[in-house]
Amino acid sequence: MDVNSNDRSKVWTPLFFSLVLVAGMVLGFNLRDSLRNKRELSTIIQRNDRLDEVVGLIRNRYVDTINNELLYTDALSGILRSLDPHTVYIPPDDLEGVNDDLEGGFSGIGVEFSIIRDTIEVTNVIDNGPAAHAGVQVGDQVIKVGDTLVAGVNITSDHIIHLLKGKQSSVVNVTFKRVENNAFKQLPITRDIIPVYSVDASLMLDGITGFIKINRFSATTYDEFSTALKKLQQQGAKQLILDLRDNPGGYLEAATLIADNFLDNNKLIVYTQGVHSPRTEYIAGEKGVFENGKLAILIDEGSASASEILAGAVQDWDRGVIVGRRSFGKGLVQKQYDLPDGAALRLTVARYYTPSGRSIQRSFAKGKDAYMEDYEHRFQTGELTGKDSVALADTTRYYTGRHRLVYGGGGIKPDVYVPYDTAHLSSGLISVLFSRELKATIWDYFMQNRSKLKGKTINEFTQSFDSHQLTSNYLAMLGQDMRSRVNALLAKPANDTYFKLQVQAQLARFLFRDNGYYAVSLKQDEVVNKALAVMNTDQYSKVISGQ
């Protein structure tokens, strides 16, 4: 009996100690992880306390008065400085304006205005908007918003916009000087949602070529684009120029929906991926409404993010030609996190890649300042002006669907390069075109002749208008010295032609809004003219076939 008991003890004792050892190891690992988590939490708390302690010392002991909000904003900016250039903190006061641009609307009264001779002139009244219902007319002058006098020296557009915007359905009393009788009248206007359009213009350039200009990708962009494209097709558009120059991007979805209209089913448009973000693919779905017509995408150094997604997809699938200059080079995806105090953190969470696998993001290894000064660098090296039209920020090779060679990093390199037009970069000419005197002259001419001008179509206006009278009116209002300088500028035929075209374009904007402006100004747009030349010759097929 005792012998059998000892034998069993010999068998179970090692097993018992093994179990105890395993249990001890598990307990040890759990205890280690628990203590490590406590240390990490303690470190976080200590760091947070350290920040609050430093801020508190500055607030209570610093030699001068400190703006507490600005102090925290600067601290947050310092934390983000070591990250990429597009991860940003948005203070509460700025967030509304940022969101308005992307959401495609804001709450206001529905007028467009221009400050002329220190007076706010209503240049357009939105159809069926609050101001239109209240009886506001083009030419009315805004004198007071509520109890705030807004006519006079040093008024700014931002200040007026701030006063006119407000909560939906709230009432604002605006005092106008009426255009028909110069009488002062206070009108109560109920604010409502006013659309912020992302499609600046849509028009026919010739019998078969439609043109659409998109200034950003907002929540309403796809619907605006679809409406514009449908109208152009009804007018006979068989080929399309899509202008994405100076378009800084916006919502990824808006760009992919537009790309879907150009690409066959099941083609990859773009994919995104990050350390904490799994690969997400955006695929072309049902048949698009413009999968076959000739297509040209216009880009430049101001085309970024969603613009590059759209241009990259078109280029990688050899769907159309990319015309202009190398794009900005922003291939990072941001997600906005709203904070409890009304601010927000726009955090980079992934990179996006074109169908061929290209990352378009250019390097920011030299810091944010160098990154943001890239435009000046491109200008100095001659990339923008044609001295170095083949400049590459990255020589990594990729291939399109038809095995055309394309490059990654540093933006989308166009298929057809068009240098920056430096002929009109004269500081004197630019200052004249944006002068208060010229703006006032054009507005006065518009108000005096608008009944006659309003009877014309855009085409009739662009074909028949003569800028000679407007130019004479402008010169007549200048002092002798300034008149001599302007005459010297306009003595150069190229300057004179460009000046008269821009005068007509600015007048057309008062008459027909942005469509009128582009109908005139595009006549001397070298990028548009190059795109037309490519599309109307066999160069188009040679480019997309890689010849």
Residues 181 and 137 sit within 8 Å (Cβ to Cβ): no
At 314, phi and psi to the nearest 5?
A: -65, -40
Could you tell me the end-to-end alpha-carbon distance of the chain, in angstroms, rounded to an integer?
A: 97
- Amino acid symbol at 83: L
At 242, phi and psi to the nearest 5?
A: -105, 115
Residues 325 and 307 sit within 8 Å (Cβ to Cβ): no
**Candidates 140, 192, 243, 316; catalytic one:** 316
**Candidates 305, 307, 467, 521; catalytic one:** 305
341 catalytically annotated: no
107 catalytically annotated: no
Q: Measured between alpha carbons, how far is 514 from 508 in angstroms, rounded to an integer?
A: 8
Residue 202 backbone zone (phi > 0: left; psi -120 to 50: alpha; other: beta) = beta
**Candidates 165, 267, 294, 330; catalytic one:** 330
Look at strands 88-90 and 239-243 and give their pairing: unpaired
For the chain, the farthest-separated pair of C-alpha atoms sits apart, in whole angstroms, at 130
Residues 314 and 244 sit within 8 Å (Cβ to Cβ): no
Q: Measured between alpha carbons, how far is 363 from 272 in angstroms, rounded to an integer?
A: 18
Residues 466 and 473 sit within 8 Å (Cβ to Cβ): no
Decide: residue 291, CB within 10 A, 0-12 exposed, 13-18 middle, 19+ buried: middle
316 catalytically annotated: yes
Q: For Cα atoms 41, 42, 44, give the angle at the middle one, nearest 5 degrees.
A: 65
Candidates 320, 281, 273, 284; CA nearest to 299 is: 320
Query: Alpha carbon of 331 to those of 29, 107, 305, 412, 423: distances in Å?
Result: 42, 32, 6, 10, 32
Look at strands 239-243 and 295-299 and give their pairing: parallel
Query: Alpha carbon of 113 to those of 109, 120, 123, 300, 443: distances in Å?
Result: 12, 6, 5, 29, 12
Give catalytic residue positions. Answer: 305, 316, 330
